[in-house]
Amino acid sequence: MTMIDVAEVCAWAREAGAIALRHFRTVQGQRKADNSIVTQADLEIEQMLRERIQQRYPHHAIIGEEQGGDVTGHEYIWALDPVDGTNAFAFGLPTWGISIGILRNSQPFLGVIYIPVSDDMYWNEAAAQAYWNGQPIRVSAATDYDGQDWITVSSYAHLDYDITFRGKTRSTGSTVAHCCYVAQGEFGWGAAGAGASLGCCGSHADCRSSRRAHYHTG
């Protein structure tokens, strides 16, 4: 089994965060074919991460938000989202993050998520404990919520699904930030980098269709 240096991956995430912060609140976004936004920071960060990974783990596959990738037949797959929450980033909001996920045999194996504006680093070590800035974290132990504790992964959840929940829902604009806040016990609900961390702190990601998410197919 390949040994992954978690500290090194965290260092790469911080390097990516430094690139993003250089562009923050000055960047101009462009629309992609799917109408989502891409910025120069997205492109620079993904290229940097690809170079680091290819040099250190040349036999691993990489798939990225901007450049895609061929992952067929690989045991280890690195899933990169250089700036998760690009709209928030482009609008000058602080809730966006760097997501580096590693899948082993199509299952979450290791995740590193960095939120640069608040300098919050989340990671897990090979399906073990999840951490926030070096401190172990767990999801909330509560089983009933009072209507104030829910956070939606998608800003379009109210359009995509027939939701009957009558309490408040919140969306900060970044899926990985949502998942980290859930992992930290801040919210009752909130995927590759985040999926690994959620699983290691006692939670998981489900689709609204009631089936468990499959990371290799989306």
Could you read off the pLDDT of 193-216 as tens digits, one per residue? 444 444 444 444 444 443 444 445
User: pTM for this structure?
Assistant: 0.76
Is residue 145 assigned to a domain?
no
What CATH number does residue 27 fall under? 3.30.540.10
Residue 111 has a CB neighbour count (10 Å cut-off) of 32
**Tokens encoding 188:** 């009752």
* Inside any domain, residue 114: yes
Residue 129: per-residue pLDDT: 82
The structure tokens listed for 14 are: 């911080």
Tokens coding 116: 């640069």
Domain extent for 112: 6-136
In a domain, 73, yes or no: yes
The confidence score (pLDDT) of residue 68 equals 75
* Res 64: pLDDT: 87
- Least trusted range by pLDDT, from 60-69, 95-104, 156-165, 206-215: 206-215
| Sign of the torsion angle spanned by Cα atoms 151, 155, 158, 163 | negative
Single-letter amino acid code for the residue at 199: G
How many CB atoms lie under 10 A from the CB of residue 66? 18
Look at residue 166 in the predicted model and tell me its pLDDT.
63
